[in-house]
Amino acid sequence: MASVKRFSSPLSTFVIPVLAGLLMAWGIGYLPFLAKLEYSAFVFPKKFSTDPHLALQDIETEKFVVSVYDISSKYRPKLNLESYALDSETAAIFGRSDLTPANWVFLINSIREAGAKHLIITQSLSWENTDELVLRAIQHELSQLGSFAIGIDLQRGPINQEFPSYLKESVIQSPEDAILDEIPGINQIGSHPSIEAPIYGFTQLENIHPDEESDTIELPLLVRWNDKLLPSLELASLMAQNKSDPNNVFCLPGKALVLKGQSLIIIPIDKTGRTSIPLKNLKTPSSAKLLESPEITPPIVALIPKNSSPQLQQFPFSIQYLDSLKPQRPSGRYSRLPFWKETAFLGIFVLILHRRKWWLSTVAALTYFVFPFSTGEWLLFSPPLTAALAFTALKIRGTRDPIEDSTPSESPVETEEPIEDPEPQLAEAPPTETENSPTNKLPKRHSPSSRQATSSKDRLAKKKRGH
């Protein structure tokens, strides 16, 4: 009985629910399914915006932060980028019909010495039976650049190959529950590169080409090797220039690619990993000009094969356009309520439960919608719900029958008290005895009461005789 009263006291029904709510507030980060429910239930002003440029939500799951960005953009090229064709004119300078690894050492050195900071090589640098010393020379020249990206040839074949270890550093992140089935799948690499690069990107996929319309091109930016996402060369080059580590590039299928680096770049994509880019007919000069007139070398150089596809011919425009997709207006940022405020709110919430006033409960519920719109701070549902459940459990336990909770040692000692009869009962007449009954034959013993009755009869008989 004493234990029941202790847990159902007003102080206990306040402290215990508040502590239960705070425990949930601390531990919800370790419960992914509850965190997802909190994100789905959180209402902020721009959540239901019909503007497609405001629909992107960047979610930091560990900190309960939602950022909404405006990704509308006007094309304002800021990158000084030019592409050059690897044609016969370039090879003629070296006296050959194609470029050998030694020619590549000289070409890369000339571009770097001319002041280029970033180099994109669309042609796979892949050779067999090549001198190791020459490959190291190419690697040294590339390492002297600020950044570079190399193209690779990916294919879809009947036999699955093991995922190459050198592509692990190029894998792009995506949410665990993201649906990636509509992104083109590959399972083979055409030719293994002989040069190590910090990031690789595919140039053109077998049987997967950009969709060209009248004035736009649907450019593929992603492919899927099992459950790993790899970038196109355009995307890989942009990541390298923006210092966006692949671990800081997030794919939200059907929404956007988010690149975090020197600046925030947000590229809208569909469920297949494509983005729409205006189609431009660009004339690509010969890379021989880089050798003949090195003073015209821009900071960013892209080397592409001669007579390449329209996708590669507009390579510099594609990267410049993707780079321009940056938030144009300040983003709306909504973060979780500070822990001390959550504690104060839980205390007020439990006090309201004690009052049992419906209108106070209504005010508490409306608080969840007032806070995001007024302060931009986010109240979680799970902590007050846990506090309410703990409060209800304590109240139910406190109203139980105390006999059920008592132990033999705690049961009160019952004492018998004499019960007084409110009304005197009449004496029952003794049973009449016959002369032949066994008890009549026994010698009679006169009790005091019987003797008193006999003496009274004798006195009455004497009075009658006297009269």
> Could you please report the per-residue DSSP string of 410-460?
GSPPP---PPPPSSPPPPPPPPP--TTSHHHHSPP---HHHHHHHHHHHHH
Write down the pTM of the prediction.
0.66
Give burial (CB, 10 Å; 0-12/13-18/19+) of 49.
middle
The pair phi, psi for residue 148, each rounded to 5°, is -155, 160
| SS3 state at 5 | helix
CB 58 within 8 A of CB 69: yes
Distance CA 29, CA 167 (A): 32
- Predicted pLDDT of residue 411: 46
**Number of C-beta neighbours around residue 151 at 10 A:** 27
Supply the pLDDT for residue 120: 92
Residue 340 in 3-state DSSP? helix
Of 213, 219, 231, 201, which Cα lies nearest the Cα of 311? 219
**CA-CA distance, 69 to 155, in Å (whole number)?**
36
Q: Where are the domains of the chain?
A: 2-67+339-402, 81-323
Q: How confident is the model over 197-213, as a mean pLDDT?
A: 72
Give dist(CA 79, CA 316) in Å, integer.
9
Q: If pLDDT is split at 50, 70 and 90, which confidence band does 441 have? A: very low
Asked if 53 and 70 touch (Cβ cutoff 8 Å), the reply is yes
Q: Is the pLDDT of residue 229 over 90?
A: yes
pLDDT score at 141? 92
Mean pLDDT in the chain?
Answer: 78
Q: How many Å is the Cα radius of gyration of the chain?
A: 46
Query: Rounded to a whole number, what is the distance in angstroms from the first to the last CA of the chain?
Result: 79
Assigned token pair, 133: 């010393």
With 50 as the cut, is the pLDDT of residue 1 above it?
Answer: no
Distance from C-alpha of 114 to C-alpha of 13, rounded to nearest angstrom: 76
Instruction: Tell which residue, 208, 212, 232, has the closest CA to residue 222.
Output: 232
**Cα 350 from Cα 383, distance rounded (Å):** 11
Q: What is the phi/psi pair of residue 147, to 5°?
A: -165, 160
Burial class of residue 176, CB neighbours in 10 A (0-12, 13-18, 19+): exposed
Q: How confident is the model at residue 442 (pLDDT cuts 50, 70, 90)?
A: very low
Q: List the one residue out of 121, 197, 115, 211 whose CA is nearest residue 164.
A: 197
Give residue 237's pLDDT: 93
Look at residue 253 in the predicted model and tell me its pLDDT. Answer: 85
How much is the average pLDDT of 69-88?
80
Residue type, 197: A
pLDDT at 422: 52
CA distance 433 to 450: 16
The amino acid present at 439, given as its one-letter code, is T
Taking a C-beta distance cutoff of 8 angstroms, is the pair 258, 266 a contact? yes
> Which residues share a beta bridge with 155?
188
Decide: 69 and 257 in contact? Cβ < 8 Å. Answer: no
Q: Are strands 118-121 and 332-336 parallel, antiparallel or unpaired?
A: unpaired
Which of the four pLDDT bands, split at 50, 70 and 90, describes residue 439? very low
Please tell me the predicted confidence (pLDDT) of residue 230: 93
- pLDDT for residue 12: 80
Give the H/E segment covering residue 123. Answer: none
Which phi and psi (to 5°) does residue 53 adopt?
-75, -15
Q: What is the mean pLDDT of residues 361-380?
A: 68
Could you tell me how many residues make up the chain?
467
